[in-house]
Structure 1
Protein backbone atom coordinates (compact mmCIF):
# COMPACT_ATOMS: atom_id res chain seq x y z
CA UNK A 1 0.00 0.00 0.00
CA UNK A 2 1.21 3.51 -0.81
CA UNK A 3 2.58 5.54 2.09
CA UNK A 4 0.30 8.04 3.78
CA UNK A 5 1.49 11.63 3.50
CA UNK A 6 0.25 14.31 5.89
CA UNK A 7 0.80 17.95 5.04
CA UNK A 8 -0.65 21.39 5.61
CA UNK A 9 -3.20 22.54 3.05
CA UNK A 10 -2.27 25.22 0.54
CA UNK A 11 -4.62 27.72 -1.10
CA UNK A 12 -4.71 25.55 -4.23
CA UNK A 13 -6.22 22.70 -2.17
CA UNK A 14 -9.34 24.53 -1.04
CA UNK A 15 -11.76 23.42 -3.76
CA UNK A 16 -10.68 19.79 -3.32
CA UNK A 17 -11.08 20.05 0.47
CA UNK A 18 -14.57 21.52 0.22
CA UNK A 19 -15.62 18.81 -2.24
CA UNK A 20 -14.07 16.16 0.00
CA UNK A 21 -16.02 17.35 3.05
CA UNK A 22 -19.28 16.92 1.13
CA UNK A 23 -18.43 13.22 0.78
CA UNK A 24 -16.54 12.47 3.98
CA UNK A 25 -17.60 14.91 6.72
CA UNK A 26 -20.70 14.62 8.86
CA UNK A 27 -22.81 17.74 9.14
CA UNK A 28 -22.17 21.22 7.82
CA UNK A 29 -20.28 23.99 9.56
CA UNK A 30 -20.96 27.66 9.00
CA UNK A 31 -17.36 27.95 7.81
CA UNK A 32 -17.58 25.19 5.21
CA UNK A 33 -17.13 27.55 2.31
CA UNK A 34 -14.22 28.98 0.39
CA UNK A 35 -14.16 32.24 2.37
CA UNK A 36 -14.13 30.40 5.69
CA UNK A 37 -11.32 28.04 4.73
CA UNK A 38 -9.32 30.85 3.10
CA UNK A 39 -9.53 32.82 6.36
CA UNK A 40 -8.36 29.79 8.31
CA UNK A 41 -5.31 29.27 6.10
CA UNK A 42 -4.51 32.99 6.01
CA UNK A 43 -4.59 33.20 9.81
CA UNK A 44 -2.88 29.88 10.52
CA UNK A 45 -1.31 28.25 7.44
CA UNK A 46 -0.48 25.03 9.31
CA UNK A 47 -3.92 24.42 10.85
CA UNK A 48 -5.63 22.44 8.07
CA UNK A 49 -3.90 19.09 7.75
CA UNK A 50 -4.47 16.84 4.75
CA UNK A 51 -3.81 13.12 4.47
CA UNK A 52 -2.98 11.90 0.98
CA UNK A 53 -2.29 8.49 -0.42
CA UNK A 54 -0.86 8.32 -3.95
CA UNK A 55 -1.88 11.95 -4.47
CA UNK A 56 -5.51 11.31 -3.48
CA UNK A 57 -7.04 13.29 -0.61
CA UNK A 58 -8.18 10.67 1.92
CA UNK A 59 -8.52 12.65 5.16
CA UNK A 60 -8.51 16.04 6.86
CA UNK A 61 -8.38 17.59 10.29
CA UNK A 62 -8.28 21.20 11.41
CA UNK A 63 -5.85 21.59 14.31
CA UNK A 64 -6.40 25.16 15.49
CA UNK A 65 -4.51 26.67 18.39
CA UNK A 66 -5.47 30.10 19.68
CA UNK A 67 -2.67 30.36 22.23
CA UNK A 68 -4.98 29.07 24.96
CA UNK A 69 -6.78 25.99 23.69
CA UNK A 70 -6.19 23.33 21.07
CA UNK A 71 -9.29 22.81 18.95
CA UNK A 72 -9.90 19.93 16.55
CA UNK A 73 -12.46 20.23 13.78
CA UNK A 74 -13.34 18.47 10.57
CA UNK A 75 -11.65 15.15 11.25
CA UNK A 76 -12.90 13.39 8.14
CA UNK A 77 -11.77 10.23 6.38
CA UNK A 78 -13.03 9.13 3.00
CA UNK A 79 -15.79 6.55 3.61
CA UNK A 80 -13.99 3.94 1.50
CA UNK A 81 -10.75 4.40 3.44
CA UNK A 82 -11.98 4.32 7.02
CA UNK A 83 -10.55 1.95 9.63
CA UNK A 84 -7.13 2.00 7.98
CA UNK A 85 -5.28 4.32 10.38
CA UNK A 86 -5.80 7.59 8.49
CA UNK A 87 -7.79 9.26 11.28
CA UNK A 88 -5.26 8.14 13.87
CA UNK A 89 -2.37 9.47 11.78
CA UNK A 90 -4.13 12.82 11.37
CA UNK A 91 -4.79 13.07 15.11
CA UNK A 92 -1.18 12.20 15.90
CA UNK A 93 0.02 14.95 13.55
CA UNK A 94 -2.44 17.42 15.09
CA UNK A 95 -1.40 16.52 18.64
CA UNK A 96 2.29 16.83 17.75
CA UNK A 97 1.54 20.27 16.33
CA UNK A 98 -0.25 21.30 19.51
CA UNK A 99 2.54 20.08 21.79
CA UNK A 100 5.08 21.94 19.65
CA UNK A 101 3.05 25.13 20.10
CA UNK A 102 2.79 24.65 23.87
CA UNK A 103 -0.76 23.27 23.91
CA UNK A 104 -1.90 21.25 26.90
CA UNK A 105 -5.20 19.67 25.92
CA UNK A 106 -7.02 19.04 22.69
CA UNK A 107 -10.77 19.33 22.38
CA UNK A 108 -13.03 18.20 19.59
CA UNK A 109 -16.48 19.22 18.48
CA UNK A 110 -18.39 15.97 17.86
CA UNK A 111 -22.00 15.74 16.76
CA UNK A 112 -24.06 13.92 19.36
CA UNK A 113 -25.86 11.92 16.68
CA UNK A 114 -22.63 10.75 15.02
CA UNK A 115 -22.06 7.46 16.83
CA UNK A 116 -19.29 6.41 14.44
CA UNK A 117 -17.33 9.56 15.23
CA UNK A 118 -17.88 9.15 18.96
CA UNK A 119 -16.40 5.64 18.79
CA UNK A 120 -13.42 6.94 16.80
CA UNK A 121 -12.73 9.78 19.23
CA UNK A 122 -13.00 7.43 22.22
CA UNK A 123 -10.59 4.97 20.57
CA UNK A 124 -8.13 7.85 20.11
CA UNK A 125 -8.16 8.54 23.86
CA UNK A 126 -10.67 11.39 23.98
CA UNK A 127 -13.62 11.39 26.36
CA UNK A 128 -16.75 13.51 26.67
CA UNK A 129 -16.99 16.26 29.24
CA UNK A 130 -20.75 16.38 29.53
CA UNK A 131 -20.88 19.68 31.39
CA UNK A 132 -19.17 21.31 28.38
CA UNK A 133 -20.50 19.11 25.59
CA UNK A 134 -17.08 18.67 24.07
CA UNK A 135 -14.44 15.94 24.02
CA UNK A 136 -11.00 16.43 25.49
CA UNK A 137 -7.66 14.66 25.75
CA UNK A 138 -4.61 15.82 27.71
CA UNK A 139 -1.62 16.23 25.41
CA UNK A 140 1.12 15.71 27.96
CA UNK A 141 2.63 12.32 28.79
Structure 2
Protein backbone atom coordinates (compact mmCIF):
# COMPACT_ATOMS: atom_id res chain seq x y z
CA UNK A 1 0.00 0.00 0.00
CA UNK A 2 1.13 3.52 -0.69
CA UNK A 3 2.54 5.93 1.86
CA UNK A 4 0.00 8.31 3.36
CA UNK A 5 0.25 11.74 4.94
CA UNK A 6 0.23 10.32 8.50
CA UNK A 7 3.02 9.37 10.89
CA UNK A 8 4.41 5.83 10.48
CA UNK A 9 2.43 3.24 12.45
CA UNK A 10 2.81 -0.48 13.08
CA UNK A 11 0.02 -2.68 11.73
CA UNK A 12 -0.64 -6.42 11.83
CA UNK A 13 -1.23 -8.15 8.49
CA UNK A 14 -2.09 -11.63 7.33
CA UNK A 15 -2.49 -13.26 3.96
CA UNK A 16 -5.32 -15.65 3.21
CA UNK A 17 -7.10 -16.83 0.07
CA UNK A 18 -5.10 -14.51 -2.21
CA UNK A 19 -6.00 -11.44 -0.14
CA UNK A 20 -4.10 -9.37 2.38
CA UNK A 21 -5.85 -8.51 5.64
CA UNK A 22 -5.11 -5.81 8.21
CA UNK A 23 -6.03 -6.12 11.87
CA UNK A 24 -8.62 -3.58 13.02
CA UNK A 25 -8.03 -2.86 16.72
CA UNK A 26 -11.50 -1.40 17.12
CA UNK A 27 -13.48 -4.22 15.50
CA UNK A 28 -10.95 -6.74 16.90
CA UNK A 29 -10.68 -8.68 13.65
CA UNK A 30 -8.76 -8.85 10.40
CA UNK A 31 -10.43 -7.05 7.49
CA UNK A 32 -9.54 -7.08 3.79
CA UNK A 33 -6.91 -4.46 3.05
CA UNK A 34 -8.51 -2.16 0.48
CA UNK A 35 -7.23 1.38 -0.23
CA UNK A 36 -10.01 3.01 1.83
CA UNK A 37 -9.38 0.58 4.70
CA UNK A 38 -5.68 1.56 4.65
CA UNK A 39 -6.74 5.17 5.16
CA UNK A 40 -9.31 4.22 7.86
CA UNK A 41 -6.72 2.26 9.86
CA UNK A 42 -4.32 5.20 9.72
CA UNK A 43 -7.07 7.51 10.97
CA UNK A 44 -7.77 5.19 13.92
CA UNK A 45 -4.06 5.06 14.84
CA UNK A 46 -3.80 8.84 14.43
CA UNK A 47 -6.73 9.40 16.81
CA UNK A 48 -5.32 7.01 19.42
CA UNK A 49 -1.58 7.78 19.16
CA UNK A 50 -1.40 11.45 18.18
CA UNK A 51 -4.64 12.76 19.68
CA UNK A 52 -4.83 10.40 22.70
CA UNK A 53 -8.44 9.29 22.22
CA UNK A 54 -9.16 6.07 24.12
CA UNK A 55 -9.84 3.02 21.97
CA UNK A 56 -13.06 2.49 23.94
CA UNK A 57 -14.53 5.76 22.56
CA UNK A 58 -13.77 4.99 18.89
CA UNK A 59 -16.24 3.20 16.63
CA UNK A 60 -15.64 2.02 13.05
CA UNK A 61 -17.97 1.20 10.13
CA UNK A 62 -21.38 1.21 11.76
CA UNK A 63 -24.73 1.51 10.05
CA UNK A 64 -26.98 4.54 10.39
CA UNK A 65 -30.27 5.46 8.75
CA UNK A 66 -30.69 8.72 6.88
CA UNK A 67 -34.11 9.43 5.39
CA UNK A 68 -34.87 5.71 5.64
CA UNK A 69 -31.72 4.74 3.73
CA UNK A 70 -29.02 2.56 5.29
CA UNK A 71 -25.59 4.20 5.26
CA UNK A 72 -22.28 3.43 6.99
CA UNK A 73 -19.99 5.92 8.63
CA UNK A 74 -16.24 5.32 8.61
CA UNK A 75 -15.07 6.44 12.06
CA UNK A 76 -16.72 8.20 14.98
CA UNK A 77 -15.29 9.19 18.33
CA UNK A 78 -17.73 9.42 21.20
CA UNK A 79 -17.63 11.72 24.20
CA UNK A 80 -17.90 9.95 27.54
CA UNK A 81 -21.59 11.01 27.73
CA UNK A 82 -22.39 9.14 24.49
CA UNK A 83 -22.62 12.18 22.23
CA UNK A 84 -20.37 12.24 19.19
CA UNK A 85 -17.21 14.32 19.33
CA UNK A 86 -15.73 13.52 15.90
CA UNK A 87 -16.95 11.95 12.68
CA UNK A 88 -14.45 11.01 9.97
CA UNK A 89 -15.16 10.27 6.33
CA UNK A 90 -12.38 8.27 4.63
CA UNK A 91 -11.80 7.93 0.92
CA UNK A 92 -9.23 5.88 -0.96
CA UNK A 93 -6.02 7.81 -1.76
CA UNK A 94 -6.84 8.01 -5.47
CA UNK A 95 -10.25 9.62 -4.76
CA UNK A 96 -9.96 13.42 -4.72
CA UNK A 97 -11.71 15.26 -1.90
CA UNK A 98 -14.48 17.25 -3.56
CA UNK A 99 -17.67 19.07 -2.58
CA UNK A 100 -19.66 15.82 -2.81
CA UNK A 101 -17.43 14.35 -0.06
CA UNK A 102 -18.31 17.27 2.22
CA UNK A 103 -21.99 16.92 1.22
CA UNK A 104 -21.86 13.23 2.20
CA UNK A 105 -20.40 13.85 5.66
CA UNK A 106 -22.83 16.76 6.18
CA UNK A 107 -25.80 14.45 5.43
CA UNK A 108 -24.48 11.86 7.88
CA UNK A 109 -23.92 14.56 10.46
CA UNK A 110 -27.57 15.62 10.32
CA UNK A 111 -28.26 12.34 12.11
CA UNK A 112 -25.14 12.13 14.29
CA UNK A 113 -24.53 15.76 15.35
CA UNK A 114 -20.75 15.50 15.74
CA UNK A 115 -18.88 18.53 17.04
CA UNK A 116 -15.89 18.00 14.71
CA UNK A 117 -15.67 16.58 11.20
CA UNK A 118 -12.65 15.21 9.37
CA UNK A 119 -12.50 14.30 5.68
CA UNK A 120 -9.43 12.52 4.36
CA UNK A 121 -8.12 10.43 1.49
CA UNK A 122 -4.93 9.78 3.43
CA UNK A 123 -3.03 12.42 1.48
CA UNK A 124 -5.20 15.50 2.15
CA UNK A 125 -6.99 16.08 5.45
CA UNK A 126 -9.73 18.64 6.14
CA UNK A 127 -11.09 19.44 9.59
CA UNK A 128 -13.97 21.59 10.72
CA UNK A 129 -15.95 22.42 13.84
CA UNK A 130 -19.71 22.64 13.71
CA UNK A 131 -21.65 25.63 15.06
CA UNK A 132 -25.23 24.40 15.29
CA UNK A 133 -26.64 27.70 16.57
CA UNK A 134 -25.37 29.60 13.53
CA UNK A 135 -25.85 26.60 11.20
CA UNK A 136 -22.26 27.01 10.03
CA UNK A 137 -18.90 25.32 10.25
CA UNK A 138 -15.40 26.63 10.69
CA UNK A 139 -12.38 25.02 9.06
CA UNK A 140 -9.56 24.15 11.47
CA UNK A 141 -5.87 23.27 11.19
CA UNK A 142 -6.46 19.98 13.02
CA UNK A 143 -8.57 18.11 15.52
CA UNK A 144 -8.35 18.80 19.24
CA UNK A 145 -6.57 16.35 21.49
CA UNK A 146 -8.65 14.22 23.83
CA UNK A 147 -9.77 16.19 26.90
CA UNK A 148 -9.17 19.59 25.25
TM superposition score category, shorter chain reference? 0.3 to 0.5
Structure having the higher strand fraction is: 2
Q: With structure 1 as the length reference, what TM-score do the two structures score?
A: 0.37
Name which one, 1 or 2, has greater alpha-carbon Rg. 2
Q: With structure 2 as the length reference, what TM-score do the two structures score?
A: 0.36
